[in-house]
Amino acid sequence: MAKRRLRELKEWKSLRKHYNKIRDVTLRELFDNDPQRADLFTIDEGDIYFDYSKNRITPTTMRLLIGLAGARGLKDEIERMFRGYRINKTEDRAVLHVALRNRSGIPMTVEGVDVMPRVLSVLDKMKNFSESVRDGTWKGHTGRPIRNVINIGIGGSDLGPCMATEALRFYAKRELNVRFVSNVDDTHLVETLGDLDPEETLFIVASKTFTTQETMTNAESARKWIIRGLSSEKAVPRHFAALSSNAEAVARFGISPENMFEFWDWVGGRYSLTSAIGLSLMISIGYNNFISMLEGFHQMDLHFRNEPFERNIPVIMALMGVWYNNFFGAGTYAVLPYEQYLARFPAYLQQVDMESSGKCVDRSGLSVNYDTGPVIWGEPGTNGQHAFFQLLHQGTRLVPADFIGFARSLNSTGDHHRKLIANMIAQTEALAFGKDEKQLKAEGVPVHQIPYRTFPGNRPSNTILAKELTPFILGKLIAMYEHKIFTQGVIWDIFSFDQWGVELGKVLAQKILSELDPDYKGELMHHGSTARLIRFCRNNR
């Protein structure tokens, strides 16, 4: 029997009807009518405290949304991922990043082959290498220990380790500078290397394919920088390591197999932080902290696989997302960490979510007739409050948001942290309950100002709390979002693990690259706008 399209499902239709009934019900009413509401809609998972009570939902909403997940076969889909099926159909690959952090000792297979021995052997190799860099036994070409580690990669080979290195800086070996170069803009490389000594600098070229234009351009320039700085080609093997699945290209670059850390086609770029792609992070925080992060990932993987949907944080997060995206028509989703160390977390999630869910064709190849992934954005609190929160509180758009915070600061100084958390909790309250005319009048606000100073409220959010930001908790948080995205992909019936949408621009850029050459003599076969842009840049070099 052909799979029913999303909007034809009876569960979807019931949700539509239910939405029409409750769309105008306010969070104030919902809380007033049910004093147990916060209990009912909180999952205290042990490490993560997930409060979703400030959402425009009732028990019926949840029953219907969970019914929808059931009708989409979510349980089976989760199993298919964990069992290594080739669920990335358009690239004909399995999707088994969960094996990278499988700490159970139980085999995980792709087509009957246990991948765990290879996963663990790469981890071991990473351990030895990272320890030798950290303790100074790894020497550069001139015999000096390494003080600077530069990860060269882009997209999935940059955003994860860059975000996590920043997030876990508290646990870092401070004598080591760990930096990230991603942009093909020469400024990125030049500014990153400006104050560094090649004798003490190690480059980690992170590229699954080892053909990515930006990464290879940066890596070639870094190679020249080393050769120039150390006056010898022989310096390359002591100053370069590679994270890749393309052994031949790595060897051609001059990096020896001992310094290549492998990963596999069943690891998608944006899901690769826990693979060899995490090497720069491991060098920064050390093997034990890295393993602790993997444990956190693994615990959340188990939670996602085993918990009933009613108690399953990633599933509930996904359902909330679908509820606002498809019924309330919210086109964006804000992620607001109240934790400076998580400053890069929204940017990281942007890739994981938007590359996975930015699709307009369903798994049967038909155009979808409903919205898929929203725009993900965010900044750390409290900075965001002084920037875009105005729109969240009084704008015309509904922007659901995740607030992420920690009960303790890692750098406890005076009452900074108490103020930070007070702000976070206050924002969720202000968004949910707003401030009405009656309250404003009671405060003596002049009548003519009342419309401007009214807060409509009824703006939903999740609050995600943990005791302290540790590697373990970071692992849990990331896995939570990964599985949220997976769940939404199942509901929207899209392929979450490909990214064909990034290809066209790359191909066109190759053509334009040659046309930008001042000696290019051919005709510019483009629409008028593009041809003029090319001419402007060529004439003004």
386 catalytic residue (yes or no): yes
Q: How far is the CB of 87 from ligand G6Q (least distance, A)?
A: 15
Closer to ligand G6Q by Cβ: residue 291 or 376: 376
Residues 335/349, Cβ–Cβ less than 8 Å? yes
User: Measured between alpha carbons, how far is 518 from 528 in angstroms, rounded to an integer?
Assistant: 19
Residues 81/483, Cβ–Cβ less than 8 Å? no
Q: How far is the CB of 275 from ligand G6Q (least distance, A)?
A: 10
Q: Which two tokens stand for residue 237?
A: 């093997």
Catalytic member of 11, 200, 355, 482:
355
Q: How far is the CB of 270 from ligand G6Q (least distance, A)?
A: 4
User: Measured between alpha carbons, how far is 53 from 36 in angstroms, rounded to an integer?
Assistant: 10
Catalytic member of 386, 438, 448, 527:
386
* Residue that has been written with the tokens 């202000």 in this structure: 430
Site size for ligand G6Q (CB under 6 A): 14
Residues 263/209, Cβ–Cβ less than 8 Å? no
214 catalytic residue (yes or no): no
Q: How far is the CB of 370 from ligand G6Q (least distance, A)?
A: 24
Half-sphere exposure (Cβ direction) of 392: Cα atoms closer than 13 Å = 28
Residues 98/82, Cβ–Cβ less than 8 Å? yes
Q: Which two tokens stand for residue 523?
A: 């005709």
Q: How far is the CB of 473 from ligand G6Q (least distance, A)?
A: 24
Question: Phi and psi at residue 267, in whole multiples of 5°?
Answer: -110, 110
Write out the binding residues for ligand G6Q, residues 130-169 only, by CB under 6 A. 154-157
Closer to ligand G6Q by Cβ: residue 301 or 355: 355
Write out the binding residues for ligand G6Q, residues 33-92 only, by CB under 6 A. none
Q: How far is the CB of 71 from ligand G6Q (least distance, A)?
A: 29
Write out the binding residues for ligand G6Q, residues 326-355 only, by CB under 6 A. 355
Q: Which two tokens stand for residue 68?
A: 């929808």
Q: How far is the CB of 84 from ligand G6Q (least distance, A)?
A: 18
Write out the binding residues for ligand G6Q, residues 223-282 only, by CB under 6 A. 268-270
139 catalytic residue (yes or no): no
Closer to ligand G6Q by Cβ: residue 218 or 470: 218
Closer to ligand G6Q by Cβ: residue 215 or 326: 215
User: Measured between alpha carbons, how far is 425 from 339 in angstroms, rounded to an integer?
Assistant: 13
Closer to ligand G6Q by Cβ: residue 268 or 405: 268
User: Measured between alpha carbons, how far is 343 from 381 in angstroms, rounded to an integer?
Assistant: 9
Catalytic member of 234, 441, 506, 511:
506
Question: Phi and psi at residue 3, in whole multiples of 5°?
Answer: -65, 135
Write out the binding residues for ligand G6Q, residues 424-463 only, by CB under 6 A. none
Closer to ligand G6Q by Cβ: residue 62 or 281: 281
DSSP track, 294-338: HHHHHHHHHHHHHS-GGG-HHHHHHHHHHIIIIIS---EEEEEES
482: contact with ligand G6Q by CB under 6 A: no
Segment holding 480, helix H or strand E: helix 471-492
Q: Which two tokens stand for residue 506?
A: 């790359």
Work out which of 102, 212, 385, 496 binds ligand G6Q, going by CB under 6 A: 212
User: Measured between alpha carbons, how far is 340 from 382 in angstroms, rounded to an integer?
Assistant: 9
Sheet holding 375-377, edge to edge: 42-44, 49-51, 461-466, 401-406, 332-337, 375-377
Closer to ligand G6Q by Cβ: residue 155 or 460: 155
One-letter identity of residue 541 = R
Residues 261/247, Cβ–Cβ less than 8 Å? no
x/- site string to ligand G6Q, residues 192 to 211, per CB under 6 A? Answer: ---------------xxx--
User: Measured between alpha carbons, how far is 6 from 372 in angstroms, rounded to an integer?
Assistant: 11
Q: How far is the CB of 263 from ligand G6Q (least distance, A)?
A: 9
Closer to ligand G6Q by Cβ: residue 255 or 320: 255
Work out which of 284, 379, 499, 515 binds ligand G6Q, going by CB under 6 A: 499
Q: Which two tokens stand for residue 257?
A: 């197999």
- Please report, as ranges, the residues that interact with ligand G6Q according to CB under 6 A: 154-157, 207-209, 212, 215, 268-270, 355, 499
Q: Which residues are catalytic?
A: 355, 386, 506
